[in-house]
Amino acid sequence: MKRNTWQREAVRGALDANDGFVSAQALHSALHATGSPIGLATVYRALADLATTGDADSLQSPEGESLYRACSTNEHHHHLICRNCGLTIEIEPHAVEQWANDVAVANGFTQAEHIVDVFGLCAACSALTAASTL
Amino acid sequence: MKRNTWQREAVRGALDANDGFVSAQALHSALHATGSPIGLATVYRALADLATTGDADSLQSPEGESLYRACSTNEHHHHLICRNCGLTIEIEPHAVEQWANDVAVANGFTQAEHIVDVFGLCAACSALTAASTL
DNA sequence: AGCCTTGCTGATAATGATTGTCAAAACCAT
DNA sequence: ATGGTTTTGACAATCATTATCAGCAAGGCT
């Protein structure tokens, strides 16, 4: 049976409190910063569970770290992520879903899944960068 | 200055000899298997170089490993990868490129890049799986 | 051809994220 | 409260990758 522990709640809460994607390590640090004595391994386990049950989305940063995020919907979707400030926007999937499927089918592939994420600079960070580049 | 060493050629050759995406470790093993005494660090360096110069494409496997592949074109494109046998097909990018850009612009993002890869089972592996599931 | 500068190599150590281990503690139904 | 089982957490282990650094070699130069 699945038990309810304050640790699990703490991880879920910390995820919710965060707008963008966070690494397990960062989450662990954040929790410790608030005085929680939660263990690192436990954070990893909780995140893995959340990702499995669909309560959290996970993706890999370009540097290879696994990042997690509490998303507003359990449905399949994708993300537009600011590589500077971490701001994350959930993307309407229809167009790509269709495309990914078409491509797969056209080549005889089945059980297609896809990794689709867009990284960029959000409006605010774009402005900052432009200013500092002058 | 950039020098020409047999090690670099060996790595490039080993990449060319391979159809799908390969990890640095696998490539190193493959080279050793053929009797080459090339060092692991050198394989990593050579792959990083090839990826930088655009002579090789790199992506991260769902498990977090960095995989490399010698691609037929230097232009930006994506991949359809069989998660069972590793067969890789290069994908016509137009549709997604357009979409990714539109999404980014629509949300005020600039300097958009995207990670787009489709994993599935190729026709052959689909048949195998279907057979073993019966 | 021989020298010389400087980039390249490779054995190994270091790093850093993640996972495995296992005894002790916590959870929940009874 | 008790028992049975899950979960936790400190720590070791693992695994891919990167840094280190002394020795080697590529290519230009004479």
Instruction: Give the per-residue pLDDT at A129.
Output: 78
Contact criterion met (CB < 8 Å) for A126 and B109: yes
Distance CA A85, CA A127 (A): 12
Instruction: Give the per-residue pLDDT at A5.
Output: 93
Please calculate the CA angle B55-A115-A78 and round it to the nearest 5 degrees.
Answer: 130
Provide mean pLDDT across the span A4-20: 93
Nearest to B58 by CA among A9, A93, A64: A64
Instruction: Give the per-residue pLDDT at A108.
Output: 94
Q: What is the pLDDT along chain B (134 residues), one digit of tens a residue?
A: 889 999 999 999 999 998 889 999 999 999 999 999 999 999 999 999 999 988 899 998 878 899 999 988 888 899 999 887 888 999 877 888 888 999 999 999 998 888 888 988 899 989 987 787 66
Give per-residue pLDDT as tens, A72-125.
888 889 999 988 788 899 987 788 888 899 999 999 999 888 888 898 889 998
In this predicted structure, the answer to whether residue A41 has a pLDDT above a threshold of 80 is yes
Phi, psi of A7 (to 5 degrees): -65, -45
Distance A38 CA to D8 C1' (A): 9
A63 vs B90, higher pLDDT: B90
Give the residue with minimal CA–C1' separation from D25: B5
CA distance B71 to chain A (A): 18
A26 vs B2, higher pLDDT: A26
Kindly list the distances between the CA atom of residue B8 and the CA atoms of A4, B11, B50, in Å, as whole numbers in the listed order: 54, 5, 9
Give the residue with minimal CA–C1' separation from D9: A39
Distance CA B70, CA B19 (A): 8
Whether the CB of B104 is below 8 Å from some CB of chain A: the reply is yes
The answer to whether A91 and A80 have CB atoms below 8 angstroms apart is yes
Instruction: Give the per-residue pLDDT at B71.
Output: 86
Phi, psi of A88 (to 5 degrees): -125, 135
The answer to whether A119 and B114 have CB atoms below 8 angstroms apart is yes
Mutate to test the interface with A, among B77, B97, B118, B125 (most CBs of A within 10 A): B118
Kindly list the distances between the CA atom of residue A27 and the CA atoms of A14, A117, B43, B101, in Å, as whole numbers in the listed order: 7, 22, 34, 31
Nearest to A44 by CA among A27, A32, A61: A27
In this predicted structure, the answer to whether residue A134 has a pLDDT above a threshold of 70 is no
Distance CA A12, CA A18 (A): 10
Q: A62 pLDDT band (50/70/90 cuts)? A: confident
Contacts 24+ apart (CB under 8 A), A7-14: A7/A38, A7/A42, A7/A46, A8/A46, A8/A49, A10/A36, A10/A38, A11/A38, A11/A42, A11/A43, A11/A46, A11/A47, A11/A50, A12/A46, A12/A50, A12/A55, A12/A70
Q: Which of residues 87-116 of B touch strand C (CB under 7 A)?
A: none
